[in-house]
Structure 1
Amino acid sequence: MDRKLLDILVCPLCKGKLTYRKKAGELICAVDRMAFPIRDDIPVMLEEEARKLAADEEINPEGDN
C-alpha cells in the first residue's frame, strides 16, 4: 500500500484514522471495530464489504506495516 494513500484514507463510517494490517491485507477502524479489505492493492471502503472485528480480536494501534 502506498503510504500517501494510507495517510489520506479514513473510515467511511466515523471518518477516523485507519490502521494498516499488511499481513491480513486490511485497514482497521478501532472506533467502529471494522476491517476493510484490500484487494489487488485497492482498499474496498464499503461497509457491506467490511468485516466486524470479534469482541476478543486485538487491535494493534501501531499496525504491522
Structure 2
Amino acid sequence: MSAVLDPALLAKLVCPVTRTPLRWDAERRELLSEAAGLAFPVRDGVPVLVVREARSING
C-alpha cells in the first residue's frame, strides 16, 4: 500500500461528522479529522469514512 494518498482525492474528502477537511497521516495511513477527534483508516488505498470504523485521537 502506498504511503501517499492522491492529492486530488484528499482535496475532495471531508469528515462525515463535521464536514471539515481531513488531513493525511502517512505514517499511520489514516485520515485525521481534528475537529471530530477521529482517525479514519485507509484500507487497500480506499478511505473508510465510517464513524464506527474510526478510532479516537483525543486520548
Shared fold per TM-score greater than 0.5 = yes
Instruction: Give unmatched runs, 5+ long, in structure 2.
Output: none
Cross-structure match for 1:42: 46
Alignment map for 1:17-56 (pairs within 5 Å): 17-55=21-59
Q: How many aligned residue pairs are there?
A: 55
Where do 4+ consecutive residues of structure 1 move more than 3 Å? none
- Identical columns (%): 36
1:38 counterpart SS class: strand
Instruction: Name the CA distance, whole Å, in 2 between partners of 1:54 and 1:32.
Output: 9
TM-score (norm 1): 0.81
Root mean square deviation of aligned Cα:
0.8
Deviation at 1:19, TM superposition (A): 0.6
TM-score (norm 2): 0.88
Instruction: Name the CA distance, whole Å, in 1 between partners of 2:58 and 2:45.
Output: 25
Deviation at 1:54, TM superposition (A): 3.1
Paired AA for residue 25 in structure 2: R
Instruction: Give unmatched runs, 5+ long, in structure 1.
Output: 56-65
